[in-house]
Structure 1
Amino acid sequence: MHNHSKIVILGGPGTGKSSVITELKNRGYPCFDEVSREIIQKAQKEGIDQLFLTEPLLFSEKLLEGRINQFKQAQKIEKAVFIDRGIPDVTAYMDFKKEKYPLKFSKANIDYTYDQAFLLPVWPEIYKSDTERYENLEEAFLIEKELIKTYKNLGYHLIEVPKTNVKERTNFILENLKS
């Protein structure tokens, strides 16, 4: 693993990304949490139940800014860094919602690239809704499809993580890191 590797953990909602990130942290790896929960919770405190649903562009602008900041912070760390969702997720979600977005969103996908991308597939048996996750299972599959299309169009080789327990999923990711 070369210094400054940025590894994105992606997938539809409710696929276990945060659990894997927590396990990686527990093992001493530097990680960045999903930015959207923070943005959603802040908006909810301001009385907006689902900012992405009411103002998708504003939400996505905040998300893009947060993810670019994470990327820049990750570049300063001299070892592999794991990131819960990447910059291309923003355009994938906007495409899923059939929303227009400025060129700077697509440009960010090209300007900030990850060294590896691991896909946690939708897994109906573990899927749960919560206060920040509005999507139903059917939408989760559609979002996954959009994420795969977006990352592949950007030239990423997605490594699918098996549907197994968190420790085994984490082991799989670590065993499949580029050397």
Structure 2
Amino acid sequence: MAKAQKILLIGGPGTGKSTIINRLEQMGYHCLSEISREIILTAQKEGTEQLFLTQPLRFSELLLEGRIKQHQKADQLAANYVFIDRGIPDITAYLDLARDKYPVLFDDANVEYKYDQVFILPIWEAIYISDNERYEDLEEAKKIQQQLIKTYTQLGYDLIEVPKSSVEQRVEFILTNTQTN
């Protein structure tokens, strides 16, 4: 069997990525969830409230390691598609937005680990919610969105914007527009 196509969902905080991933998973598709919350919660248990804010490079290194493992896991799944919540280029997008310096291995990972298709979920004020792991306000989320678009576009990805609609309609849009090899 050929490797599963890696279908990536990106977008600023609070755009509905995890909700869509959860729905796709309920429908029986192979999905890989966002891992940053796991890293944040582990750091909080160890006494660091916001690892990205206090040690952005350490947070990003942990994230890179986890996302590379996800990419490799996707290659081993017996499926036509695997849907992934956020990708490796998200890391450099966030670091670039913060104007933090990082080792070349981050740029190398962006080139080495590719995705077959990228769907972007637009900022949508009506569904935006802040929580314990999402410290960004809506204005910051908008800046992140623009940086994500810039980063992925510079890497040569054609972004497919998912319309603002019900979860079911968004999932249907993604499934309808997922390319087959």
TM-score by length of 2: 0.97
Residues 119 and 174 in structure 2, CA contact (< 8 A), matched pair in contact too: yes
Deviation string, structure 1 residues 14-40 (Cα, Å, up to 9, x no partner)? 000000000000110000010100000
Q: Distance in 1 between matches of 2:35 and 2:106?
A: 16
Q: Distance in 1 between matches of 2:143 and 2:63?
A: 20
Q: Distance in 2 between matches of 1:3 and 1:45?
A: 37
Paired position in structure 1 for 2:56: 56
Structure 1: gaps spanning 5 or more residues: none
Question: How far off is 1:77 after superposition?
Answer: 1.2
Paired residues for 1:87-102 under 5 Å: 87-102=88-103
Paired position in structure 2 for 1:47: 47
CA 1:75–1:3: 2 relative to 1, 3 Å: closer
Paired position in structure 2 for 1:29: 29
Paired position in structure 2 for 1:111: 112
Question: How far off is 1:3 after superposition?
Answer: 4.3
Structure 2: gaps spanning 5 or more residues: none
* Total equivalences in the alignment: 178
Deviation string, structure 1 residues 58-106 (Cα, Å, up to 9, x no partner)? 0000000000000000011132000000000000000111100000000
Paired residues for 1:1-179 under 5 Å: 3-78=3-78, 79-179=80-180
SS in 2 for 1:94: helix
Q: Distance in 1 between matches of 2:138 and 2:48?
A: 23
Q: Distance in 1 between matches of 2:94 and 2:117?
A: 20
Q: Distance in 1 between matches of 2:99 and 2:130?
A: 22
Calculate the aligned-residue CA RMSD, in Å: 0.8
Question: How far off is 1:117 after superposition?
Answer: 0.1
Q: List 4+ stretches of structure 1 deviating above 6 A.
A: none
Equivalent position amino acid for 2:66 in 1: G
Q: Distance in 2 between matches of 1:41 and 1:165?
A: 29
Which piece of structure 1 moves more, 72-81 or 103-112?
72-81
Residues 3 and 76 in structure 2, CA contact (< 8 A), matched pair in contact too: no
Equivalent position amino acid for 1:54 in 2: T
Residues 3 and 75 in structure 2, CA contact (< 8 A), matched pair in contact too: no
